């Protein structure tokens, strides 16, 4: 779209690393070939995805305007950039930032790109990446060249590839770390980028590094491979290594990473990861992308068998000097401060005091602190990025990193500079207190821009943030450090499973109309690298979620035992009791004609207006289906309770029956005489809803139906703690999908 | 003598009167309605709400050829037109097109009932940006090259009335010129001037 697109290549000639320049040239050629129809749209889609160039909402050429679907007639007509993805439709560009590390020039480049190609906003993701939205694909080669000139690549920021290698943003300055993981994470990122052994995965592959086991910063438990720094004494000398984990991942059904090895020497982390990549590429699922993450392979094989295969693979690898070339330098790696360390400032300013309390953290190096710049919803403007560049140049040697909480941390700030740093940040709207606190809500893009979004996660986060901005600081101290994380759908980009208060978007029908909802997810743990995963308790209409937050936090303050964490509080009080406390909020509004209830936060379009034409003759069936789906939800909740009380077999069986119950509810619409026999229900479900694709999710396809078929196939096998836990998640997702299917049938069945 | 400039991606921002009285939230349904009605010549696509960032783009109506926003960049609230797609024609055509688009949007917003008459043009202040650093770097030479183009454009817009020009000091920003007319104009008056 930009007039200058043809000029950037020459303008930056000699300023880009040769390999990155070549990469962009190839990509640009592929764009030309696609425009000429010489590359298949599916192949082109994977090509652009591997450069971090995503589709965005409404890119199929349709948009629901609140009353009807409108065709969007883009100037490029029928030209597509992927299946059902129009060429001219705005897209998202993800930009990988290994370990979140940036310098001031790179911040300024990001500012320029946000201003010239996007809408003046850069967004930080939950994996330390940047995202720019509303980008035209024709602009992406110029954008990538400008990034390349700043030393940044978007290669493998998406697609079935090794994604951003994340790392604790406090690495090197944290008081609790074993050692600084920065050089090791960088070495792995560099080694795996474009590696031939990483080009044939069935799905993405996400590595993460943490300096310690007890904090959350690295989130190694939720990653495909995770490394936690560790040391041991060998021959009287301290030896560096990593506790290595594999097979973690959130997504629809979260898996906790398994311990692969309690101590992998630093010389072995690259070859072992390479061996894992090879085993994953060879044995991982390719056809069914819903079971293609490495977590499924490890689940199927068992960690011991997987480890055996990896170690055998390791023996076959041809030696690569890069495995160890970095090690000597890594041991010497250190960052330096710009100014001498100082004393903590004294102040009478309430605002400064509050900021000092929440947004600064002492480094292990005396006299220095890490300053957190808390970004609302992970967003920052172009001008703010430039001001941030000024701050990091003025007070540090450009030591700034992004975080998985969608913030920045400025490291190596002398305590004596804190008053000036605060003043500079506050002047440009970057001095908000509350970093890492209740008000610092993490959210994925949700329905704002994501094609998969079901509910408005950003809208809800914005609303909660507004309400909590002042009030949260007056709340009890115990509440102030709780974590709220929101995803717009079950895919967990907002990391709701590891929050104290997690929410993910679902839709439900009320009085014949679709209403945006969020599942309330409780029991997760952010600390200990995402130490435990929460489970959904009850689905609540979006507009009532602020009341959920109020009730749960007030209850916690009132009933909390001394020193009790929120996770332990949830466990002690029990989900049955907490669900009961929220149940009235799950009901339809007192005034069923209140239109605000049927729209989402920040989006005035009526969520359900398209369903208003449902004929009255649907009434009885509607009631019956809703009743049955509600019963299925009750069952899956009972399964959760059984699991928590150690009744593993009962938990698995109950979860399975909840799925059968939900399947029967849908089958009953067309076959009112369906029996209770699971075999018959499965058969009819397959014929009437799966084979006809009526149950299919627009993006996940038959994924949720396959959960049912798998559960049925394994119904006579004994359940384990893990398998019943996974089945509960799958059952909840199947029921959510049943609700969606039923909502869709309401518009198309014409009953 | 400066070299000629090819002006593309012109942005025009008309600054608002009493910005502290303006509530941006009602703009969201207004912009959604504009999409529903596809009221402009540009293809309108989506609404982006950035009220949560300070001195940011505010509420943005995303279009294919251009974005419209009630923008608070530099803590100066105004209606901004951001041309994204290249335009045929002369530099004057492009400056006038962007100004006309911003004025038309502002005129609609001034009369929008949901905004309660709170969003008004301040009558005098306009900011013109060129949103392409390669074609229009923020430099004295670009400003020199812009001068005759702006002179002709502003002469028509203000019909010969006096005005003052100024610009910011950060060379990293987009090249931009702030224009302050010596007397107040209404939106309709400026639209009429452009049409004359």
Cα–Cα distance, A682 to A679 (Å, whole number): 5
Q: How much of chain A, in percent, has pLDDT values that exceed 70? A: 97
Cα–Cα distance, A47 to A277 (Å, whole number): 20
B132: which chain A residues are within 8 Å (Cβ-Cβ)?
2-4, 116
B135: which chain A residues are within 8 Å (Cβ-Cβ)?
3-4, 7
pLDDT at residue A120 tops 90: yes
Q: Is B196 exposed, middle or buried (0-12, 13-18, 19+ CB in 10 A)?
A: exposed
Residues in chain B: 196
Its pTM stands at: 0.90
Cα–Cα distance, A53 to A60 (Å, whole number): 16
**Which is the CATH superfamily of the domain at A613-751?**
Nucleotidyltransferases  domain 2 (1.20.120.330)
Q: Which residues of B touch A (CB under 8 A)?
A: 6, 8-9, 28-29, 32, 35-36, 38, 43, 45-57, 60, 62, 64, 67, 69, 73-74, 84-86, 131-135, 170, 172-174
Per-residue pLDDT reduced to its tens digit, A636-665: 988 988 998 899 999 999 999 999 999 999
Token pair recorded at residue B146: 């812009």
B100-111 average pLDDT score: 98
A399-425 average pLDDT score: 98
Across A380-389, A503-512, B123-132, least confident range: A503-512
CA diameter of chain B: 50
Asked if A57 reaches chain B (Cβ–Cβ under 8 Å), the answer is: yes
Question: Any bridge partners for residue A525, and if so which?
Answer: A532
CA diameter of chain A: 82
**Which is the CATH superfamily of the domain at A437-604?**
Sulfite Reductase Hemoprotein, domain 1 (3.30.413.10)
Cα–Cα distance, B100 to B122 (Å, whole number): 16
Q: How much of chain A, in percent, has pLDDT values that exceed 90? A: 77
Give the pLDDT of residue A145. Answer: 98
Asked if A19 reaches chain B (Cβ–Cβ under 8 Å), the answer is: no
Bigger pLDDT: B102 or A617?
B102
Residue pointed to by tokens 């075999």? A679
Q: What residue in B sits closest to A389 (Cα-Cα)?
A: B172
Asked if A428 reaches chain B (Cβ–Cβ under 8 Å), the answer is: yes
Per-residue pLDDT reduced to its tens digit, A246-282: 999 998 889 999 999 999 999 999 999 999 999 999 9
Query: What does DSSP assign to residue A26?
Result: H
Residue to test with chain A: of B50, B67, B70, B86, most A Cβ within 10 A: B50
Banded model confidence at residue B3, pLDDT cuts 50, 70, 90: low
Bigger pLDDT: B177 or A527?
B177
Nearest-CA distance from B53 to chain A in Å? 7
CA-atom Rg of chain A in angstroms: 26
Across A278-287, A365-374, A605-614, B73-82, least confident range: A605-614
* Packing angle of the helix pair A721-748, A648-670 (nearest 10 deg): 20
Bigger pLDDT: A170 or A509?
A170
Q: Which CATH architecture has domain A174-332?
A: 2-Layer Sandwich (3.30)
Give the pLDDT of residue A614. Answer: 27
Give the pLDDT of residue A749. Answer: 35
A441: which chain B residues are within 8 Å (Cβ-Cβ)?
none
A408-430 average pLDDT score: 98
Query: What does DSSP assign to residue A94?
Result: E
The closest CB to that of A119, out of B9, B28, B67, belongs to B67
C-beta atoms of A428 and B51 within 8 A = no
A133: which chain B residues are within 8 Å (Cβ-Cβ)?
48
Answer for the pair A170, A129: CB distance below 8 angstroms, yes or no.
Answer: no
Answer for the pair A180, A334: CB distance below 8 angstroms, yes or no.
Answer: yes
B51: which chain A residues are within 8 Å (Cβ-Cβ)?
462
**Angstrom distances, CA of residue B185 to CA of A365, A452, B21, B129:** 60, 47, 21, 21
> What residues contact A304, with CB distance under 8 A and at least 6 apart?
none
Answer for the pair A342, A367: CB distance below 8 angstroms, yes or no.
Answer: yes
pLDDT at residue A723 tops 90: yes
C-beta atoms of B53 and A7 within 8 A = no
Residue pointed to by tokens 């970057």? A430
Q: What residue in A sits closest to B47 (Cα-Cα)?
A: A448
> What residues contact A223, with CB distance under 8 A and at least 6 apart?
A166, A206, A207, A208, A245, A248, A249, A257
CATH of segment(s) A350-427:
3.30.70.3340
Give the pLDDT of residue A287. Answer: 82
C-beta atoms of B57 and A120 within 8 A = yes
C-beta atoms of A429 and B53 within 8 A = yes
B55: which chain A residues are within 8 Å (Cβ-Cβ)?
381, 383-384, 428-429
Banded model confidence at residue A306, pLDDT cuts 50, 70, 90: very high
Across A32-36, A140-144, B103-107, least confident range: A32-36
What single string gives the DSSP state of each residue in A224-268?
Answer: SEEEEEEEEEETTEEEEEEEEEES-B-SSS-BPPEEEEEEEEGGG
Q: What residue in B sits closest to A63 (Cα-Cα)?
A: B45
Asked if A74 reaches chain B (Cβ–Cβ under 8 Å), the answer is: yes
pLDDT at residue A573 tops 60: yes
Mean pLDDT of chain A: 92
C-beta atoms of A116 and B131 within 8 A = yes
The closest CB to that of A72, out of B43, B57, B131, belongs to B43
Banded model confidence at residue B30, pLDDT cuts 50, 70, 90: very high
Cα–Cα distance, B40 to B43 (Å, whole number): 7
- Sign for the CA dihedral angle at A413, A220, A308, A297 comes to negative
A463: which chain B residues are within 8 Å (Cβ-Cβ)?
none
pLDDT at residue A199 tops 60: yes
A137: which chain B residues are within 8 Å (Cβ-Cβ)?
none
Cα–Cα distance, A169 to A172 (Å, whole number): 9
Cα–Cα distance, A586 to A579 (Å, whole number): 10
Q: Give the count of beta carbons closer than 10 Å to the beta carbon of residue A413.
A: 28
Banded model confidence at residue A750, pLDDT cuts 50, 70, 90: very low
Give the pLDDT of residue A627. Answer: 72
B45: which chain A residues are within 8 Å (Cβ-Cβ)?
58, 63, 72, 90
A315 SS3 class? helix
Cα–Cα distance, B26 to B17 (Å, whole number): 17
A106: which chain B residues are within 8 Å (Cβ-Cβ)?
none
- Sign for the CA dihedral angle at A594, A449, B49, A498 comes to positive
C-beta atoms of B48 and A112 within 8 A = no
Whether A174-332 shares its CATH topology with A437-604 is answered: yes
C-beta atoms of B36 and A603 within 8 A = no
The closest CB to that of A379, out of B35, B46, B52, belongs to B52
Give the pLDDT of residue A513. Answer: 81
B77-95 average pLDDT score: 97
The closest CB to that of B28, out of A65, A379, A604, belongs to A604
Per-residue pLDDT reduced to its tens digit, B114-131: 999 999 999 999 999 999
What single string gives the DSSP state of each residue in A151-181?
Answer: T---TTSSSSSB---EE-TTTTT-TT-SS--
Per-residue pLDDT reduced to its tens digit, A125-139: 999 999 999 999 999
Residue to test with chain B: of A119, A374, A605, most B Cβ within 10 A: A119
Answer for the pair A731, A634: CB distance below 8 angstroms, yes or no.
Answer: no
B42-65 average pLDDT score: 97
Q: How much of chain B, in percent, has pLDDT values that exceed 90? A: 97
The closest CB to that of A3, out of B29, B49, B86, belongs to B86
Question: Any bridge partners for residue B165, and if so which?
Answer: B179
The ipTM value here is 0.98
Give the pLDDT of residue A87. Answer: 97
C-beta atoms of A74 and B64 within 8 A = yes
C-beta atoms of B53 and A1 within 8 A = no
Closest CA to A678 of A666, A664, A691, A693: A664
Residue ranges of A 75-104 with Cβ closer than 8 A to chain B: 75, 88, 90
* Domain boundaries defined on chain A: 3-149, 174-332, 350-427, 437-604, 613-751
Answer for the pair A115, A75: CB distance below 8 angstroms, yes or no.
Answer: no
Per-residue pLDDT reduced to its tens digit, A537-548: 999 999 999 999
C-beta atoms of A381 and B55 within 8 A = yes
Nearest-CA distance from A116 to chain B in Å? 6
Nearest-CA distance from B173 to chain A in Å? 8
Residue ranges of A 631-650 with Cβ closer than 8 A to chain B: none
Answer for the pair A522, A445: CB distance below 8 angstroms, yes or no.
Answer: no
Give the pLDDT of residue A624. Answer: 67
How far from each other are the two terminal CA atoms of chain B, in whole angstroms? 31
């Amino acid at each position: 779209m930009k007039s200058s697109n043809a000029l950037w290549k020459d303008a930056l000639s000699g300023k880009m690393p040769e390999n990155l320049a070549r990469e962009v040239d190839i990509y640009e050629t592929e764009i030309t070939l696609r425009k000429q129809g010489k590359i298949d749209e599916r192949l082109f889609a994977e090509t652009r995805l591997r450069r971090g160039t995503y589709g965005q909402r409404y890119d199929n050429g349709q948009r629901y305007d609140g009353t009807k679907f409108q065709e969007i007639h883009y100037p490029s007509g029928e030209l597509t950039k992927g299946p059902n993805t129009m060429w001219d439709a705005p897209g998202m560009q993800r930009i990988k930032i290994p370990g979140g590390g940036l310098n001031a020039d790179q911040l300024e480049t990001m500012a320029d790109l946000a201003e010239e190609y996007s809408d003046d906003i850069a967004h930080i993701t939950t994996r330390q990446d940047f995202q720019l939205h509303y980008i035209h694909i024709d602009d992406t080669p110029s954008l990538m060249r400008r990034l390349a000139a700043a030393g940044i690549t978007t290669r493998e920021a998406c697609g079935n590839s090794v994604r951003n290698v994340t790392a604790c943003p406090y690495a090197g300055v944290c008081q609790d770390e074993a050692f600084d993981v920065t050089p090791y994470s960088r070495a792995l990122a560099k080694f795996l980028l474009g590696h031939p052994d990483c080009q044939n995965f069935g799905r993405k592959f996400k590595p993460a590094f943490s300096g310690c086991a007890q904090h959350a910063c690295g989130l190694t438990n939720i990653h495909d491979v995770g490394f936690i720094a560790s040391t041991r004494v060998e021959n009287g000398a301290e030896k560096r290594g990593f506790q290595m984990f594999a097979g973690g991942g959130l997504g629809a059904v979260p898996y906790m990473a398994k311990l692969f090895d309690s101590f992998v020497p630093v010389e072995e982390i690259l070859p072992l990861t390479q061996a894992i990549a090879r085993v994953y590429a060879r044995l991982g699922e390719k056809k069914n992308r819903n079971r293609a993450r490495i977590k499924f392979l490890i689940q199927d094989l068992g960690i011991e068998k997987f480890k055996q295969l990896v170690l055998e693979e390791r023996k076959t690898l041809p030696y690569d000097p890069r495995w160890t070339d970095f090690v000597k330098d890594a041991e010497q790696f250190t960052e330096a401060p710009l100014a001498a360390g100082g004393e903590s400032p004294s102040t009478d300013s309430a605002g400064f005091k509050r900021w000092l309390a929440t947004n600064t953290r002492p480094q292990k190096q005396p006299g220095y602190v890490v300053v957190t710049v808390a970004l609302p919803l992970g967003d920052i403007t172009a001008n703010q990025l430039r001001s941030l560049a000024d701050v990091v140049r003025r007070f540090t040697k450009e030591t700034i990193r992004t975080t998985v909480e969608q913030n920045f941390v400025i490291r190596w700030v002398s305590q004596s500079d804190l008053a000036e740093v605060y003043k500079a940040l506050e002047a440009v709207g970057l001095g908000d207190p509350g970093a890492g606190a209740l008000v610092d809500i993490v959210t994925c893009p949700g329905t704002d821009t994501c094609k998969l979004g079901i509910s408005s996660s950003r809208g809800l986060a914005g609303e909660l943030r507004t309400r909590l901005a002042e009030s949260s600081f007056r709340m009890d101290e115990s509440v102030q450090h709780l974590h709220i994380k929101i995803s717009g759908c079950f895919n967990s980009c907002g990391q709701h499973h590891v929050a104290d208060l997690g929410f993910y978007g679902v839709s439900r029908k009320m009085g014949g109309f679709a209403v945006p909802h969020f599942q309330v997810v409780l029991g997760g743990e952010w600390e200990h690298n995402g130490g435990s995963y929460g489970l959904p308790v009850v689905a609540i209409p979006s507009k009532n979620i602020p009341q959920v937050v109020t009730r749960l936090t007030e209850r916690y303050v009132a009933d909390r035992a001394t020193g009790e964490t929120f996770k332990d509080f949830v466990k002690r009080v029990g989900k049955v009791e907490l669900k009961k406390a929220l149940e009235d909020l799950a009901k339809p509004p007192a005034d069923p004609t209140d239109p605000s209830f049927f729209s989402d936060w920040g989006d005035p379009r009526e969520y359900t207006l398209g369903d208003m034409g449902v004929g009255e003759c649907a009434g009885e069936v509607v009631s019956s289906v809703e009743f049955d789906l509600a019963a299925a939800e009750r069952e899956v909740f009972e399964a959760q309770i059984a699991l928590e009380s150690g009744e593993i077999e009962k938990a698995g069986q109950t979860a399975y029956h909840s799925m059968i119950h939900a399947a029967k509810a849908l089958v009953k619409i067309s076959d009112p005489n369906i029996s209770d026999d699971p075999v018959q229900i499965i058969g009819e479900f397959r014929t009437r809803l799966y084979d006809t694709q009526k149950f299919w999710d627009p993006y996940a396809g038959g994924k949720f139906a396959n959960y049912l078929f798998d559960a049925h196939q394994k119904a006579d096998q004994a359940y384990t703690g893990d398998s019943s836990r996974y089945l509960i998640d799958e059952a909840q997702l199947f029921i959510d999908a049943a609700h969606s299917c039923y909502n869709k049938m309401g518009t198309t069945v014409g009953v | 003598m400066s070299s000629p400039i090819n002006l593309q991606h012109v942005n025009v921002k008309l600054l608002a009167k009493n910005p502290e009285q303006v509530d941006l939230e009602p703009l969201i349904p207004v912009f959604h309605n504009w999409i529903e009605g596809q009221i402009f010549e540009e293809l309108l696509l989506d609404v982006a709400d950035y009220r949560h960032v300070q001195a940011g783009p505010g509420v943005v109506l995303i279009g294919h050829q251009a974005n419209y926003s009630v923008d608070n960049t530099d803590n100066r609230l105004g209606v901004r037109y951001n041309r994204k797609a290249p335009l045929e024609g002369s530099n004057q055509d492009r400056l006038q097109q962007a100004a006309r688009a911003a004025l038309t949007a502002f005129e609609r917003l001034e009369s929008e009932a949901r905004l309660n008459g709170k969003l008004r043009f301040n009558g005098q202040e306009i900011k013109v940006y060129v949103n392409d650093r390669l074609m229009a770097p923020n430099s004295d030479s670009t400003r020199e090259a812009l001068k005759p183009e702006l002179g002709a454009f502003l002469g028509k817009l203000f019909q010969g009335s006096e005005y003052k020009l100024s610009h910011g000091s950060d060379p990293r920003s987009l090249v931009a010129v702030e224009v302050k007319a010596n007397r107040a104009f209404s939106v309709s008056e400026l639209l009429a001037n452009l049409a004359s």
